Chain A
């Protein structure tokens, strides 16, 4: 099955889509040929329990009210939709709106999912949650939800990531979580997931595995999307209110793909809206050092789902590379694989350099320091804006008639050391310089 070539999805929606079928609220376990449950039998009962609890909860007005209350009075939702007027000059002059998930409590979209899943854990009578984390964002969010709801929290984090994100380890510990450095395998995010699964098998009677992205075995992809759908629902209502029409394009970054599926969902059934997911191109997809799973991966099974996967000819998972720890994952959520195959969403790689240039531009033009993950969406938005501007010129219109929304999935405070090193802002022998050097392989 061929991938949708970059840019070709624009006018080729799926057969089902053209026939009027809805792409919204896909229930799983399968998204086309992707998804499913490729998991040990030992965990199937727990997945069944979770699925049943989730189905009941989302149909329960009390649960929905609880989520709505936490979103409003704890996370600070709705998040703003901010027009980025000076940034738009770099995007061909189209109007650019930023969905401000960076303004949520804990600084990213991750809080939407952890609050929902932590409430489900309580409904199941579980007293302990476990989570994986790469850079620490999901770990911090999980520790936050656990503290709020009185749950024990254990976070698995690659030993290398623990060292280069020492402050995030401290944040999790301040919030009462236990952080376990993972020394198996490649000692990265995928191995943190492996160790979390091993913990879950052994402790499933009292433990919920609070997976941080829209990947994994059913019901995780559909459930994590459900908790992030609020991003797209808000963005759609806000753009209609602010400019009176739908955007021409929506852009998001993709690691596992949770922020992206959340905002995409709001627009999947709007044929006039082109949707773009930007993967981490690392040093460049031609170098092999990247995390462009959909662009270059092949279908396989990892961590419970069939999806595109970075793997070698033997089916061994290949280590991914990105300046952004949050996108540094060799898999991707199964719904994204499906949306790519049917041509509804275009997935394209963004290199480290492109992302960091967009990072710099947003800081200087809007006074917003983005997460490096989100900077991939900004870099993609610049490209999409320039294409739309060219199209407008061809048809005799103006760029300012075109509108794009970029999901600003998180704030960049956690990335200051990495960025300072990238832009060479530190004295050579300062302590920060040492941290920056260790922050990423630059």
Chain B
């Protein structure tokens, strides 16, 4: 791996880093919203993605529905199962990415379990993602140890590679993962799967600190974040906040309008009120 490109340490052309830096320049954390592709349809995912961008999301994470999503809780499982039942195909994720990047300035990443990428071919998947205007990949079940092909393809096509770090990551693994990442590092807030939780684990702040100490300039926190209060709490110590399950529930319960309203509300928590994190949490 190239340490010059590690975790945005050097100036890069990383679309994700640029989006996070733009938010930072505005005195706030970046908001990253997750939507599963094809839920309930490809067209509605594109519309919801545009609504996300227009209402305050800086980055958008498009999930590929997969038959065995071991890191996802019930809300996202139900959505991706429905997307698959509705006939979603992996290649359509590029239509979603292009549909959003052609209409907005948001950086659009794809979140995917690794087997669909393996099946298409890592190089071909990467080429098509880059052609669609995608920023990179978030890979919940790919660790740097197994990512040789992805390093090569992400360098070749200029894509961000967002690996996860967790409360259980040792110092050695933290360093390795931070060095391997580009764009940002995804800090898992809790030992568990996706799903809204009433409070943000105190472990999240420690994970972010450890990632910063390992040299990461951009660390975004995900898992269990669903309210503006939680966003505000995290925005005090991380460069970005990732919301997934709450947005999926919004799609389910109220469609694009509900996504727009929730995004607007979540974005009120992004501003950094120095030293007063979590007042309204």
A residues lining the B interface (CB < 8 Å): 36-46, 48, 184-186, 190-191, 194, 197-198, 201-205, 298-303, 309, 311, 313-317
Interchain Cβ contacts under 8 Å between A and B, 21 examples: A38-B143, A40-B140, A40-B166, A41-B164, A41-B169, A44-B143, A44-B169, A46-B168, A184-B77, A185-B67, A198-B71, A201-B192, A202-B193, A205-B191, A300-B115, A301-B141, A313-B119, A314-B119, A315-B66, A315-B90, A315-B115
What residues on B are CB-neighbors of A190 within 8 Å? 68
Residues of B within 8 A of A303 (CB): 68, 70
B4 at interface, CB cutoff 8 A? no
Contact status B168-A42, CB under 8 Å? yes
Bound complex: CA of A202 vs CA of B119, how far in Å? 29
**Bound complex: CA of A198 vs CA of B243, how far in Å?**
19
Decide if B70 touches A197 in the complex (CB within 8 Å): yes
Q: Does B89 contact A (CB under 8 A)?
A: yes
Residue contact B67 to A45, C-beta cutoff 8 Å:
no
The dominant DSSP class at the B interface is loop
Given contacts A38-B141, A41-B173, A201-B191, contact A316 B116 (CB under 8 A): yes
Chain A residue at minimum C-beta to C-beta distance from B168: A45
Docked complex Cα distance between A186 and B84 (Å): 12
Please give the number of chain B residues whose Cβ is less than 8 angstroms from any Cβ of chain A in the complex: 40
A41-B169, A42-B164, A44-B168 in contact; A315/B143 too (CB < 8 A)? no
Q: Which residues of B contact A194 (CB under 8 A)?
A: 68-70
Confirm or deny: B145 has a beta carbon within 8 angstroms of a beta carbon on chain A: yes
A40 touches B67 (CB 8 A): no
Cα separation A119 to B120 with both chains bound (whole Å): 42
Return the contact of A302 from the options B115, B166, B167 (Cβ within 8 A).
Answer: B115
In the complex, B146 has a CB within 8 A of chain A: yes
B55 at interface by CB-CB < 8 Å: no
Q: Is the CB of A45 within 8 A of B173?
A: yes
Within B36-81, which residues are at the interface with A (CB < 8 Å)?
A: 66-71, 73-74, 77, 81
- Whether B70 lies near A40 (C-beta < 8 A) is yes
Cα distance A298–B120 in the bound complex, in angstroms: 12
Question: Looking across the interface, which residue of chain B has its beta carbon closest to that of A45?
Answer: B168
Closest residue of chain A to B78 (Cβ to Cβ) is A184
Of B66, B84, B120, B168, most A-chain CB atoms within 10 Å: B168
B173 surroundings in chain A (CB, below 8 A): 41, 44-45
B119 x A42 contact (CB < 8 A): no
Chain B nearest CB from A405 CB (Å) reads: 36
Q: Are A41 and B67 in contact (CB under 8 A)?
A: no
A346 to chain B, nearest CB (A): 26
Closest to A202 in B: B192
Q: Indicate whether B118 reaches chain A with its CB closer than 8 angstroms.
A: yes
Q: A41-B165, A201-B191 are in contact. List 9 more A-B contacts (CB 8 A).
A: A184-B81, A202-B191, A303-B70, A314-B116, A314-B119, A315-B66, A316-B66, A316-B67, A316-B84
Interface residue? B188 (CB, 8 A): yes
Set of chain B residues within 8 Å of A184, measured between Cβ atoms:
74, 77, 81
Q: How far is the CB of B142 from chain A (nearest CB, A)?
A: 7
Instruction: Return chain B residues, CB-CB under 8 Å to A311.
Output: 115, 119
Chain B residues closer than 8 Å to A46, beta-carbon distance: 168
Q: Which of A39, A299, A315 contacts B117 (CB 8 A)?
A: A315
Given the known inter-chain contacts A184-B77, A201-B71, please indicate yes or no for A300 contacting B146, CB distance below 8 A: no
Minimum CB–CB distance for A197 against chain B, Å: 5
* Complexed CA–CA distance, A36 and B77 (Å): 26
Convert B136-160 into 0s and 1s, putting 1 for each residue whose CB lies closer than 8 angstroms to a CB of A: 0000111101100000000000000
A300, B118: Cβ atoms closer than 8 Å:
yes
Centre residue among B70, B163, B188, B191 by max chain A CB count within 10 A: B70
**Is B245 part of the binding interface, using a Cβ–Cβ cutoff of 8 Å?**
no
For the complex, give the distance between the alpha carbons of A52 and B66 in Å. 32
Q: List which B94-120 residues lie within 8 A (CB) of chain A.
A: 114-120
Q: Are A37 and B188 in contact (CB under 8 A)?
A: no
Contact (A39, B69) CB under 8 Å given A300-B115, A315-B115, A315-B120: no
CB proximity of B229 to chain A, nearest CB, Å: 23
Knowing A184-B77, A315-B116 touch, does A37 contact B145 (C-beta < 8 A)?
yes
Say yes or no for B177: interface residue by CB 8 A criterion: yes
CB-CB under 8 A from A48, the residues of chain B are 170
Closest B-chain residue to A184, C-beta based? B77
Residues of B close to A185: CB separation below 8 A: 67-68, 77, 81
Nearest-Cβ distance from residue B222 to partner chain A, whole angstroms: 12
CA distance A314 to B89 in the complex (A): 7
Interface residues of B in 241-277 (CB under 8 A from A): none
Give the docked Cα–Cα distance between A303 and B69 (Å). Answer: 10
